[in-house]
Amino acid sequence: MFTGIIQAIGVLQQRSESQLAISATGAPFLKDVAIGDSIAVDGVCLTVETFDASGFTVRVSPETLQRTTLAAKAAAGAMVNLEPALRVGDKVGGHFVTGHVDGVGTVLAIAPTGTSWEFTFSAPEAVAMYIIPKGSIAINGISLTVAHCNEKGDEFRIAVIPHTYAETTLQFLKVGEGVNLEADLLGKYTRKFLQPQDASTAVEIDLAFLQTHGYA
């Protein structure tokens, strides 16, 4: 579990078909890292395989590479956002982020506003259904608030303050670039609970209840 508050920026490189290396010299969390720890790399929860003072390596599955931007970024030696897993007692300054990417969106526009930056993104249907005004969303692992979205949620805008801009890879984004998106966990569960229950499932559950209590 993560919070979407980025603690360092690293450089992603591909070591082999399934191994990625992240250079992060000076990252504050490296002094406490251990093999098996979870670290969000641009919003993707990965497990530390090896590490030293300059960074760490991770293994990735073909599905992870297919469903995220990691393959393209590793090939380009791109900058990535880094956040170690949340520990008991840590501050939760953003929102709960799992590190499981729901889909890849696209940067549609970037506009400075004088005191901040406005980014406009597109989102695939798997993410769009959870996007609402003032709702939370993780973009490349960064906890951000939706400032505005269209009715479908497949196009939305965020406002970024100077601190977030300077401390994350948002400063390097370009129009047309892909980004990892994770919808708010609360929205996912809410939608699941509100979906109409399948009639056959409901009958099976009711029958099981009756049998358990000796009524059938």
- Residue 194, classed as helix, strand or coil, is helix
- Domain holding 152, by residue range, is 103-194
Q: What is the pLDDT of residues 74-100, one digit of tens each?
A: 999 999 999 999 887 777 788 889 999
Are 60 and 127 in a shared domain? no
The answer to whether the beta carbons of residues 21 and 52 sit under 8 Å apart is no
Which of 31, 49, 84 marks a domain boundary? 84
The pLDDT-based confidence of 186 (bands split at 50, 70, 90) is confident
- 89 inside domain: no
Cα separation, 196 vs 207, whole angstroms = 19
Are 115 and 187 in a shared domain? yes
The answer to whether the beta carbons of residues 96 and 143 sit under 8 Å apart is no
- 54 inside domain: yes
The percentage of the chain sitting over the pLDDT mark of 70, rounded to a whole number, equals 91
Q: What is the pLDDT of residues 18-29, one digit of tens each?
A: 999 999 998 999
Domain count, the chain: 2
Residues in the chain: 216
Q: What is the pLDDT of residues 102-152, one digit of tens each?
A: 999 999 999 999 889 999 999 999 999 999 999 999 999 999 999 999 999
Are 23 and 50 in a shared domain? yes
Which of 40, 55, 84 marks a domain boundary? 84
Residue with token string 């010299």: 25
Run of H or E including 12: strand 8-14
**CATH code of the domain in which 65 resides:** 2.40.30.20
- 206 inside domain: no
- 168 inside domain: yes
C-beta pairs of 66-69 under 8 Å, 24+ apart in sequence: 67/101, 67/103, 67/104, 68/42, 68/43, 68/44, 68/101, 68/104, 68/180, 69/42, 69/104, 69/140, 69/178, 69/179, 69/180
Are 110 and 189 in a shared domain? yes
Angstrom CA distances, 194 to 14, 188, 198, 200, stand at 42, 10, 12, 17
